[in-house]
Amino acid sequence: MTGGTGLLALEDGATFTGVGFGSGRVVAGEICFNTSMTGYQEVLTDPSYHGQIVAMTAPHIGNTGVNADDDQSAAPRVSGFVVRELSRTHSSWRAEEPLDDYMSRHGTAGVSGVDTRRLARHVREAGAMRAALSSVPIAADELVDVARSSPAMVGLDLASAVSTKEPYTRPATGPAGKGRPRLRIAAFDFGIKTNIVKLLASMGSDVTVVPARTTAEDVLAGGFDGVFLSNGPGDPDPVEYAIATVRALLGRLPIFGICLGHQILALALGARTYKLPFGHRGANHPVLRVGSGQVEITCQNHGFAVDAVSLASTEARLTHVNLNDQTVEGLEVPGLCMGVQYHPEAAPGPHDSRYLFDSFRRMVEEGVRGNQ
């Protein structure tokens, strides 16, 4: 722990005092809050949080420590971390080090002792905005200036910043099943989480993770059976290279997109996206499967959404709806593509939505049989 005074400042002038921990530094990013009760390590390492300062609404953070198995990328991706109370001790048989030490080792700044309930209410009422966090002493007005001088999230292509620079392959770790082919999946890395790759491989698929700027020609030349579009940070609109690639792949290979990948898929189909007032982030968001009456409790992390009116003018059909605000949570063009706004691999979160990976595999298998 840095031991110095910590401070969070928003671009509208609001400030929140606390105690700095982790790495001693000043950082900037868009402020957002996550309502998950557990899974703070997965939140810290989710590349979808690149460029954001994340506040956890659960009051105690750090009480289970940190371990290498739960990382969703090589290091924390958040710009900064805000908590109500940083646990002084941790207790878990899986723990390898305290959260404070982990953040210090990776150069990640945090502030504890913040009234996160007040902060969440403020963001809900005023909307997402730029912010700055300091885990070292600094004047409040100076930190507000840092927030106001940082880039806004709208118009930012952050997928390129977090994507792998070179392709890599994870071989299948599970059997395809009797009479079922071993598939080859090209997974576009817009900020892909480790557990997604693990799940795709566990279903009997060889997964090649490719950079965000990989072209349709490269994918088609690679002999793949299906395409996965990953989660990721930032605004989907400026990721024009990926939208063009997906548009060129539609109808040629089965496609499954989640989170940012879902938004890119929607844009490729001709729909529009827009920025939500304060986004959806947590592991408890209810989503309705259209036509079935079934409700999934989902893990979500996104600040943009697909416009429902524009989606209705495309060939895609609406498959899932958020029950909190009626926003689009899923789409499908039968036999061609499918996408969901949430994180069905559930790291962290419930497992209600893992059936989607089975649905994707069936769609790919049908495509393989159709090409034989």
Catalytic residue from among 122, 262, 285, 343: 343
Task: Identify the residue with better confidence: 306 or 346.
Answer: 306
Give the chain's mean pLDDT: 95
User: Is 337 a catalytic site residue?
Assistant: no
Is the pLDDT score of 50 beyond 90? yes
Residue 327 in this model has a pLDDT that exceeds 70: yes
The β-bridge relationship of strands 130-134 and 26-34 is antiparallel
Give pLDDT, residue 181.
86
Domain ranges of the chain: 5-149, 159-370
Mean pLDDT, residues 175-191: 88
- What is residue 347's predicted lDDT score, i.e. its pLDDT? 81
**Among the options 259, 285, 329, 332, which is catalytic?**
259
pLDDT score at 281: 96
Of the listed 11, 296, 345, 365, which one is catalytic? 345
What was the pLDDT predicted at 201?
94
pLDDT, one tens digit per residue, over 64-81 is 999 999 999 999 999 999
The helix or strand, by DSSP H or E, that contains position 220, with its residue range, turns out to be: helix 216-221
Phi/psi for 209 (5° steps) reads -85, 125
pLDDT digits (tens, 9 = 90+) for 10-42: 999 999 999 999 999 999 999 999 999 999 999
Q: Give the position of tokens 């958040």.
A: 78
- Residue 335 binned pLDDT confidence (cut-offs 50, 70, 90): very high
Each residue of 124-156: pLDDT tens digit? 999 999 999 999 999 999 999 999 999 999 999
> Is the fold of 5-149 the same as that of 159-370?
no
- What is the b/e burial string over 282-302, where b = at least 16 CB atoms within 10 angstroms of the residue's CB? bbebebbbeeeeeebbbbbbb
pLDDT on residue 217: 98
List, edge to edge, every strand of the sheet that includes 205-211.
Answer: 168-170, 205-211, 183-189, 226-229, 255-258, 337-340, 328-333, 317-322, 273-289, 295-306
Q: 348 preceded by cis ω (within 30°)?
A: yes
d(C-alpha 18, C-alpha 51), whole Å: 21
* CATH no. of 5-149: 3.50.30.20
- Comparing CA positions, the residue from 131, 111, 124 lying closest to residue 35 is 124
In terms of Cα–Cα distance, which of 127, 86, 123 is closest to 104?
86
Question: Is 11 marked active-site?
Answer: no
Return the pLDDT at 277.
96
pLDDT 10s digits, 253-303: 999 999 999 999 999 999 999 999 999 999 999 999 998 999 999 999 999
| The CATH number of domain 159-370 is 3.40.50.880 | yes
Q: Which two tokens stand for residue 79?
A: 């710009």
What digits encode the pLDDT tens for the residues 185-209? Answer: 999 999 999 999 999 999 899 999 9
| Higher per-residue pLDDT: 354 or 318 | 318
Indicate if 315 belongs to the active site: no
Residue 178: the pLDDT is 72
Q: How far is CA 270 from the centre of its chain?
A: 23
**Of 162, 101, 111, which Cα lies nearest the Cα of 132?**
111
Query: What is the residue type of 37?
Result: M
Confidence at 3, pLDDT banded by 50, 70, 90 = low
Share of the chain above pLDDT 70, in %: 98
**Residue at 307: amino acid letter:** D
Residue 2: is its pLDDT beyond 70? no
Q: Give the confidence band of 4 by pLDDT, cuts at 50, 70, 90.
A: low
Is 372 a residue whose pLDDT tops 70? no
Q: How far apart are CA 151 and CA 138, in angstroms?
A: 21
Report the C-alpha gap between 306 and 117 in whole angstroms. Answer: 29
Tell me the mean pLDDT in the region 108-115. 98
Dist. CA 300–CA 35, nearest whole Å: 10
SS3 of 340-351:
ECCCCCCCCCCC
